[in-house]
Every structure is written in structure tokens, then in C-alpha cells.
A and B are shown apart, each in its own frame.
Chain A
Amino acid sequence: GAVVSQHPSRVICKSGTSVKIECRSLDFQATTMFWYRQFPKKSLMLMATSNEGSKATYEQGVEKDKFLINHASLTLSTLTVTSAHPEDSSFYICSARPTGNYGYTFGSGTRLTVV
């Protein structure tokens, strides 16, 4: 089945630094990947849609300059949290689905803690 690998699973960074999270589709090509943010005991909130070879589409209220998304290949999308602050601490999850398949596969998530 379709597998999405997300790395790292946990990261702690100092306030003001940048953190990069990788999302890879291991056995399929993904022209589109999605990045979500999830607060404790809450649902997944779509942050942006990552499009291979073009600019990402951000949801309303998501700062594109803070959450930089790069989808450089058909199997890799990265989310960079720039100048991180404690309020950026959250659980970030990516997802993708193979072309022609309705099923979305999610990565295992990244727990970001900004201290």
C-alpha cells in the first residue's frame, strides 16, 4: 500500500531558529501533498496544499512567509517553520495520495516544540 514517511518525528528547537520537516511518498508519486497542523485534542487543520513544481496554496490565516513549503520532486515535500516561536509548537502532519486512488495516506507526524 501507499506509504508516506515523515521526518523527524520529534524536534525541539530554540525560539528564533528554523526547522525543516520532510514528507516523502515512498512507493508512489505525489503531485500534490497536504500539510496539516493539529493542536492537542483537536482536529486536523489544513495549512497548505503543496504542488510539485509550483507554489504552494495556503489556507486563509496561514502565514506563507513563516511556513515555507517546497515540493521539489514527485516524492518529496518539505515544510520549513521559519523564526519559530513557542506558539508554533504543535503536531504537524503531511498527507498524499496516489493518482487515481481515493485513499489519502498520512505521515506519522512531527511533534515540534519551540523553547
Chain B
Amino acid sequence: QQQVKQSPQSLIVQKGGISIINCAYENTAFDYFPWYQQFPGKGPALLIAIRPDVSEKKEGRFTISFNKSAKQFSLHIMDSQPGDSATYFCAASRGNAGNMLTFGGGTRLMVKP
């Protein structure tokens, strides 16, 4: 059972545009929702994360929007740059340290110059 569904699978955006990636989850026990950025041959790096007590979190050009009732959250990348070209994964977990992350399927973003 895929508990976190991510879309789109791939995305092409022009430089300066907005990249939007969406995720939906099923398990209402999840209380931590991070986004990871992964470059080829590297491990994922935490980009930004949100807890369900807020509906939006912004860090620089990256914003998470969270809709608890719809069980959806999204990543917005403003002023997208070619250096943002990477694979992005949403994830979710429960709060205890022993609980693992459940990942979405990933989105390959390409930002064209």
C-alpha cells in the first residue's frame, strides 16, 4: 500500500518560473512532512519540512503548503533556477524517533535556462 502519492513524476519549468509538486497521504497518524532534494549519485538532502499545526512554511524560495483536511501537501519553488534541477521526494512519518519515513515516488524537475 503506497501511503504517500506524489505527482507529477516529472516536471519541466522555465528559469524564473514556479515549480509545484503535490503529495497526498493516507495515514492520519503522520505528523511530520519533509521534502528532500536528491542529485544524481547523492543521498537525499532535507529541503524543508512542516508539522500539521501550520498550513504553510516558507524558507527562501521554497514553500510548503499543508491541507490537513484534504491530507495533501505541496512544495512550491519560486523563481526556479537550473541548479534546482534534481529529483524531489515528499515524505511523511510519525513523531517517534523509531519511526521511518514513508516516501512518495519522486518528481524529476528540470529547469530550463
Contacts and interface: CB of A to CB of B under 8 A. Distances in A.
B42 interface: yes
B23 to A, nearest CB: 12
Interface in A57-115: 91, 93, 95, 97, 99-100, 102-109, 111
A43 B49 contact: no
Counting contact residues on chain A (CB < 8 A from B), the size range is: 20 to 34
B43 A6 contact: yes
A49 B46 CA distance: 20
A102 B93 CA distance: 9
A94 to B, nearest CB: 8
B43 A97 contact: no
Counting contact residues on chain B (CB < 8 A from A), the size range is: 20 to 34
Contacts, number: 57
A104 B43 contact: no
A102 B49 contact: yes
A43 B89 contact: yes
Chain A to chain B: the 5 pairs with minimum beta-carbon distance, closest first: A106-B43, A109-B43, A108-B43, A102-B32, A43-B106
Interface of B: 32, 34, 36, 41-46, 49, 51, 89, 93, 95, 97-98, 100-101, 103-106, 108
